[in-house]
Structure 1
């Protein structure tokens, strides 16, 4: 299954054009993502900003800037769905749910998470074989029983 090149919000007012491949594919367990995206684990891909373009409906997008962190997210004013965010590194972060919906319900293999980030801050344990970094991907790994 190939990576979809277009993504839409739930109501279809906003359409994104995606180009290339993601820089990172991860499940994030940090407090900021949990709060910002309202989920216990945020499954997403990070892209160079030039590879994520608003193709239609820019006038329907609203931006929320995190009040204390270098994060923002773009969401549809009509349906409220988050289409992408910007992380502290300036990358465009797209929820995996958008790609799964555009692919008929299954996430393309090329977008499946390759790691867990900030696993020390998890609120739910994950039973998989992916590396579980306690913090960012350049830090120590989680060891079973830790």
Structure 2
């Protein structure tokens, strides 16, 4: 399945164009992502800002009141089209991408790791590395993890 280059929000009013490949692909379990995106785990890709452009419609943004995060969404249907993290990367929820590909993610978009696994709300059974915190730290081995 090819990587989609054009993505539409739920109502079709906002069109996002992707260029190239994502810089990172992860399932994030941190409290910030769970709270900010309203999910128990954020499965997403991170892109350089110039690789994700709005080519149709207009977006509204919401900035987190205390953290360096923002979320861009369609003002008509409320669909989150991307977020911006503290590094300035554009974060595309995989659910947004999956809609454009008939419900299945292309291989180039699938998560390659879990981040902040110690903060998970559900256990995940897969073969991906599960970093207890960021990707440069300790990996969950089944006996460590939740304090």
Equivalences for 1:37-116 in 2 at 5 Å? 37-58=37-58, 61-116=59-114
Aligned to 2:36, the other structure's residue is in SS state: helix
Structure 1 residues not aligned, in runs of 5+: none
Aligned to 1:89, the other structure's residue is in SS state: coil
The superposition leaves residues 89-139 of structure 1 with CA deviations (integer Å, 9 ceiling, x where unpaired) of 110000101211101111111111000000011111100010000111111
Aligned to 2:99, the other structure's residue is in SS state: helix
Structure 2 residues not aligned, in runs of 5+: none
Residue 145 (structure 1) shift = 2.2
Aligned to 2:86, the other structure's residue is in SS state: coil
2:34 matches 1:34: yes
Would you identify which runs of 4 or more consecutive aligned residues in structure 1 move more than 4 Å? none
2:89 matches 1:124: no
Equivalent residue number for residue 144 of structure 1: 142
- Name the CA distance, whole Å, in 1 between partners of 2:38 and 2:109: 21
Aligned to 2:81, the other structure's residue is in SS state: strand
CA-based RMSD: 0.6
- Name the CA distance, whole Å, in 2 between partners of 1:78 and 1:102: 19
Aligned to 1:63, the other structure's residue is in SS state: strand
